[in-house]
């Protein structure tokens, strides 16, 4: 996604910034490999390294269908605590899918995910001209479902027994927010 390289978006709690390979450090890679943090992420099935993660961030930066942002917490002295992604962006239908990871566990439960989702919805509406945002949450990922709900998403459907979690079928909740 081509946006100004110095692009930043701020709320009271967070600063969103365009994620680049140089923002990937050992702490970021550790989030991806931590089974407590990646429990509900499809990225959990492979081991991540600095190189693989930097390459992933570069591919996102190069893709016109992806806007990948880092999340910094004001309360934690501007520390990089997670990421939020809008992808794929489907300009023909005005659609975008959101994925979020607040990887720094000391930052959980402070409203950062809700804020980041709401801020990205603003960007999607006002800068990208999108019309509808979607997200998928494992049914038992209560924190994620609540964060999307707080940011104005509703449940538009579900895929029953869709994924396997610890070998057991798990329903995928389909969340959506219309931007008009």
Question: Could you list the residues that contact ligand COA (CB under 6 A)?
Answer: 37, 40-41, 82, 100-102, 108-114, 137, 141-144, 146-147, 150
SS3 180: coil
Residue 179 DSSP class: -
Nearest Cα residue to 67 out of 14, 126, 20, 134: 20
The CA distance from 25 to 32, in Å, is: 11
Residue number closest to ligand COA, CB atom: 143
Nearer to ligand COA, 114 or 130 (CB): 114
Task: State in angstroms the smallest separation of the CB of 159 from ligand COA.
Answer: 14
Nearer to ligand COA, 53 or 114 (CB): 114
Nearer to ligand COA, 62 or 154 (CB): 154
Residue 38 DSSP class: S
Nearest Cα residue to 136 out of 118, 114, 164, 162: 162
Task: State in angstroms the smallest separation of the CB of 27 from ligand COA.
Answer: 14
Nearer to ligand COA, 61 or 101 (CB): 101
Task: State in angstroms the smallest separation of the CB of 147 from ligand COA.
Answer: 4
Residue 45 DSSP class: G
């Amino acid at each position: 996604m081509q946006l100004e390289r110095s692009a930043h978006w701020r709320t009271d709690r967070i600063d969103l910034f365009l994620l680049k390979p140089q923002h990937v450090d050992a702490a970021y890679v550790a989030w991806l490999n931590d089974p407590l943090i990646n429990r509900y992420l499809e990225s959990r099935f492979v081991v991540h390294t600095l190189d693989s993660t930097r390459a992933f961030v570069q591919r996102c930066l190069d893709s016109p269908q992806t806007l990948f942002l880092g999340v910094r917490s004001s309360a934690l002295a501007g520390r990089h605590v997670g990421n939020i992604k809008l992808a794929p962006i489907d300009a023909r239908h005005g659609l975008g899918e959101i994925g979020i990871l607040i990887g720094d566990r000391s930052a959980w439960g402070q409203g950062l995910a809700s804020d980041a989702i709401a801020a990205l919805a603003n960007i999607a509406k006002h800068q990208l001209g999108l019309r509808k945002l979607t997200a998928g949450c494992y049914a038992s990922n209560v924190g994620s479902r609540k964060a999307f709900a707080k940011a104005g998403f509703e449940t538009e459907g579900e895929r029953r027994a869709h994924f396997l979690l610890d070998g057991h079928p798990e329903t995928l909740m389909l969340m959506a927010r219309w931007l008009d």
